Structure 1
């Protein structure tokens, strides 16, 4: 479903027919600037503009408020799966048990994160939380939200992070930096780099959103430009003899070229692209298949 917050509350739409969005629910109570729905359940978490430090968890079908929590600073992001609810503040993260909403763990004194950048895997079998490990470079901290301990730190980019996303199984994490040209995909278990894609060479591009398809075969990216890029994961195959010769030639050439130049040769390009009618705004993307 699609959840939209507005000046007059929030609305839920069905995506069964993307050509004709069906309104599922409408709440016209207060200005809502943040709203998250737990998959297709009736559980909705909201934050209003009038009370930016208060989180409300509601059962929208019954029209009842389950609970509310207040925090020390403005809530910047809320993420949920079937076992955890995570609230992100600028310098801390609160991990709740979604069954009773008790705070299980608080990650304090995180690097300044004014955008509330974080990601929570959607599977409770591999319940991982990712957030910036640095405010100056693109480090990703992977935290085990099930067993409540830090797992690994991934040095993903030279510049600060701009976007994060787990694949549906939580085994991979996609990252983009403020530079906005390269998207990398790492193993969430050990931080090994698996794929690298080049969005483009245009400067001053702000990547605002990354999303995997549910099958895990595609990754899409949106930014402040009018173009949405879709990348396809091509798993390595047995190389024919010709490719071995080409790789040998590339290995010879790379010894004489800067690392930045040889990296460009190995970066994947967009499998497909879509063009939006406007640019210069923050776009959030998802893949529905």
Structure 2
């Protein structure tokens, strides 16, 4: 919520600059000063500036707390998975389906305002992993918003695996995948391993269902013509289709990570 407040304040500050320019044009330019409108805008700018400073200070404290939490997870050899994706792709619904918890899920921008992290037990891997839901991405995400949501997006950067959730029923899904890849590149998470989760299978006609619920998919690089093959699984977070296949894929990655880790701590359940 602090991140949303910071984004709102930065947007308000930008609008004030536009109002200032408009006032100068109305009063004949920079030579005319001291009017009531000018004084009010200066006061508003100072108040917003102070609020932005306080918000950034509080966010810095939250960031330190999360860094401490991540270090604790690292010490426990916890395998961390983050859900990313275009807004309204159904990330929170998938999160709820996987961990059987209720987080806020809605068909709107930034429905997930903060990072939600839960423990998920993968039976096939005999291991607990951490699963985090993050803010939904949008087309041409402004740099100001990237900065404002940095604390939440950092979960994606630090993850061992990304679940890139895609709305399979959206006709623009390819463009949305590309936009998400751009943001991942911008925040430094482009090289984090990922699984494409094509969600909302239940919204597709049965004739459009794939022959297999899991396969490989070519993902285009955000800033070049290069492509790479990533694992893909089709699911319906709402109806439960494909979730066993997804959990199996997660177990494979978690087991591989455990084998690559020199010292693994045994989880007692």
Give the alignment's TM-score, normalised by structure 1. Answer: 0.25
Q: TM-score, normalised by structure 2?
A: 0.26
Q: Which structure has more helix as a fraction of its residues? A: 2
Task: Please identify the structure whose Cα radius of gyration is greater.
Answer: 2
Q: Which structure has more strand as a fraction of its residues?
A: 1
